[in-house]
Amino acid sequence: MAEESFEDKTEKATPKKREEARKKGEVAKSRELPSVAVLLASLITLTIFGSFMYTHIQTVMRESFSLPILKEVNIPEFMVFVEKMITIFILTLSPILAAIFITAVLSNIMQVGFMLTGESIRPKLSRLNPIKGFGRLFSKQSFMELFKSLLKLAIVSIVAYLTVRAEMKNVYLLGDMEFNSIVAYILLTIFKIFIRCALAMIFLVAIDYAFQKWDFEKRLKMSKKEVKDEFKRTEGDPLIKSRIRSIQMQMARKRMMQDVPKADVVITNPTSLALALKYDSSVMGAPKLLAKGAGEIAKRIRELAEKYDIPVVENKDLAQSIYSLVEIGQEIPPALYEAVAEVLAYIYKLKGNVSSLG
């Protein structure tokens, strides 16, 4: 059966399909953003730590030229010198290396969040298919890459031309400068070109990210049939429904158990059922059922009652009636007012607070 064309895929991707695509490493991201971000971070780091790095480079050069001729140096002294030079070299490059690493990681996390998958780099025989490979040469992605390359070339050329042209008025001054000043001027001009190129390429990043987002969403689209089939596989699956119900029941039971310490009394029958009731005449029209349970749940309610010093009253008929007629969070029906009132009156009498019945 032939695959459905893009024209048939009119529906937005479901969360499940997005999750599956993410597991395969398929996400919308711009490859240009990390490159431009790293370039900017490197230039900013050079601006901040340039003098620090220059000082250490001078140290390396001085130490190198101060080393005696090789035949006068013994091996231990030479190894100490090499170790010292490596340490200085690492220290010199550490600011820019740290900036590159941190920026590269953060620029990817900003686009797609934290994602670790080996699916995208796993070898696939389909990639060796010459027909598909030929097709990829003329795909939208290939044309976009060509467009970006040409745009980058244009940006660099235009920025370099404009910067050099602006500096031409200062060229005649170079003849009166010392060699170190000339080198510094040339390096500053190159730095200006790089920083302006990086800033100009932010425009390229915006175009690239917008295209990648659009292309990703288009590739991820589903047909109406795919959406229906996925719904049947997930929501319609009895096992999944059962699992969802189980999770919902666990959450409801957890919330119910958290309310037991608020109860005024726990009524039992005495071992198989337990019901926690609360009555506050200022906000309730009748006593409210906070928790109920049978078997192990009833046992847990009794344990919580004992832990929080909540009175436990044994009344088999009343416990059975409340368990059958009242749901958690509901007030007891009028038919049970008298029986429950007797229990609460007994509890309040023990506490010396009969007025609480209202």
At 121-167, the pLDDT tens digits run 555 555 555 655 555 566 777 787 888 888 888 888 998 888 888 88
Question: Which residues have a Cβ under 8 Å from the Cβ of 91 and sit 6 or more positions away?
Answer: 56
How far is C-alpha 294 from the chain's CA centre? Answer: 42
User: What confidence tens digit (pLDDT) does each residue in 161-199 have?
Assistant: 888 888 887 777 777 778 778 878 888 888 888 888 888
Q: What is the pLDDT of residues 310-328, one digit of tens each?
A: 999 999 999 999 999 999 9
pLDDT of 75 strictly over 70: yes
**pTM greater than 0.75:** no
**What backbone phi and psi angles, to 5 degrees, belong to 69?**
-60, 150
DSSP state of 14: P
Is the dihedral angle over the CA atoms 249, 250, 251, 252 positive or is it negative? positive
Residues of the chain with CATH 3.40.1690.10: 242-353
Instruction: Please report the pLDDT score of residue 277 as a whole number.
Output: 93
Distance separating alpha carbons of residues 42 and 195, to the nearest angstrom: 10
Q: Is the dihedral of CA 267, 273, 278, 281 positive or negative?
A: negative
Q: What is the CATH number of domain 242-353?
A: 3.40.1690.10
* Banded model confidence at residue 303, pLDDT cuts 50, 70, 90: very high
Q: Across all residues in the chain, what is the average pLDDT?
A: 82
Kindly report the backbone phi and psi dihedral angles of residue 275, in degrees, each rounded to the nearest multiple of 5, phi listed first: -135, 130
How many whole angstroms separate alpha carbon 206 and alpha carbon 333?
64
Instruction: Give the span between the Cα atoms of 182 and 174, in whole angstroms.
Output: 6
In this predicted structure, what is the pLDDT of residue 1? 40
Contact at 8 Å (CB) between 315 and 330? no
Work out the pLDDT band at 3, boundaries 50, 70, 90.
very low
Q: Which residue is listed with tokens 């009242």? A: 326
For residue 96, is pLDDT > 80? yes
Task: Walk across the sheet containing 265-268 and list its strands.
Answer: 288-294, 273-278, 265-268, 312-314
pLDDT of residue 2: 42
Mean pLDDT on 244-250: 84
